């Protein structure tokens, strides 16, 4: 979330990766530029800090300069269920530090959001394509409704390694391994300022709610944390053995 979130990644991620022996890192970066959207220089900044793949969501279109870049940089994804002629790609095959092939799929929900193509059917299609290359498949489901996220978890259980919810910026405590080996959490949380309203300065958010005037987003700067999950994967089968929430305050370091 904005510059504070990027600072947290820059100062905390390397040690977290080392301490937990992480082979592959994914970050949803659609709010990395001033709380709304992302730009090519910021994509490069986050990738240079050790993130392997960037996913996104409905705010990926906020900065026009990212449009052509989505076709050039394969390590940033937009949701796969947008119309086929929009810039970028919604899924990809990548390689971890230990040489494992990893498939990443980005989907966007429809409940309380845009009327896009069905994320369930598009997700199923992308899974079928990527499973020909690897059993390790991670899904970022960028959605508003808890029910839609939970449904996606059960829909893909046993067919993907993890279904990880994003968009609401509030880390949930429902992480679990589903019946057939898929790791699930409704929202991985936010890397950014917690002394805020989902990353926005409190007074700005209150002004928007009290006046119904669309005040410009202003990213907060206090109480910064890196939030996320760490997944332990059974590589041969692509099933998850464990999912662990993490919250690392910037002022305490990792």
CB 57 within 8 A of CB 30: yes
Q: How far apart are CA 13 and CA 254, in angstroms?
A: 8
Q: Output phi, psi for 165, to 5 deg.
A: -80, 140
And the tokens for 73? Answer: 């940089």
* pLDDT tens digits, one per residue of 165-177: 999 999 999 999 9
Q: Which residues of the chain have pLDDT under 70?
A: 252-254
Long-range contacts of 71-76 (CB under 8 A, 24+ apart): 73/40, 73/43, 75/43, 75/47, 76/29, 76/38, 76/43
Tell me, yes or no, if 59 is annotated catalytic: yes
pTM, full prediction: 0.95
| Burial of residue 195 (number of CB atoms within 10 Å: 0-12, 13-18, 19+) | exposed
CB 113 within 8 A of CB 30: no
Coil/strand/helix, residue 162: strand
CB 109 within 8 A of CB 145: yes
Domain 2-249 fold: Purple Acid Phosphatase; chain A, domain 2 (3.60.21)
* pLDDT tens digits, one per residue of 122-170: 999 999 999 999 999 999 999 999 999 999 999 999 999 999 999 999 9
Residues 26, 85, 58: CA angle, nearest 5 degrees: 45
Instruction: Give pLDDT, residue 252.
Output: 53
Q: How far apart are CA 146 and CA 89, in angstroms?
A: 25
Q: How far apart are CA 243 and CA 229, in angstroms?
A: 7
CB 72 within 8 A of CB 84: no
Out of 59, 142, 167, 169, the active site residue is 59
DSSP per-residue letters across 179-219: TTS-EEES----SEESSSBTTB-HHHHHHHHHH---PPP-B
**% of the chain surpassing 70 pLDDT:** 99
And the tokens for 222? Answer: 């206090």
The maximal CA–CA distance of the chain, rounded, in angstroms, is: 55
And the tokens for 141? Answer: 């489901």
């Amino acid at each position: 979330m904005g510059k504070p979130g990027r600072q947290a990644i820059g100062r905390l991620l390397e040690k977290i990766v080392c301490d937990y022996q992480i082979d592959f890192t994914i970050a949803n970066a659609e709010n990395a530029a001033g709380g709304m959207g992302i730009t090519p220089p910021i994509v490069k900044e986050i990738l240079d800090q050790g993130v392997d793949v960037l996913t996104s969501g409905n705010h990926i279109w906020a900065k026009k300069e990212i449009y052509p870049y989505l076709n050039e940089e394969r390590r940033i994804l937009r949701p796969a269920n947008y119309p086929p002629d929009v810039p970028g790609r919604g899924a990809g095959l990548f390689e971890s530090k230990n040489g494992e092939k990893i498939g990443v799929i980005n989907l966007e929900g429809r409940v309380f959001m845009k009327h896009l193509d069905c994320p369930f059917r598009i997700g199923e299609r992308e899974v079928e394509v990527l499973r020909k290359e690897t059993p390790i498949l991670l899904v970022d489901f960028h959605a508003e409704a808890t029910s839609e996220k939970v449904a996606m978890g059960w829909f893909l259980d046993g067919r993907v390694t993890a279904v990880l919810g994003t968009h609401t910026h509030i880390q949930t405590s429902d992480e679990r391994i589903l019946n057939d080996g898929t790791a699930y959490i409704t929202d991985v949380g936010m890397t950014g300022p917690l002394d805020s309203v989902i990353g926005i300065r409190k007074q700005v958010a209150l002004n928007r709610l009290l006046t119904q005037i669309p005040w410009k987003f202003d990213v907060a700067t206090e109480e910064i944390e890196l939030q996320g999950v760490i997944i332990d994967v059974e590589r041969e089968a692509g099933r998850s053995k464990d999912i662990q929430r993490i919250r690392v305050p910037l002022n305490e370091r990792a």
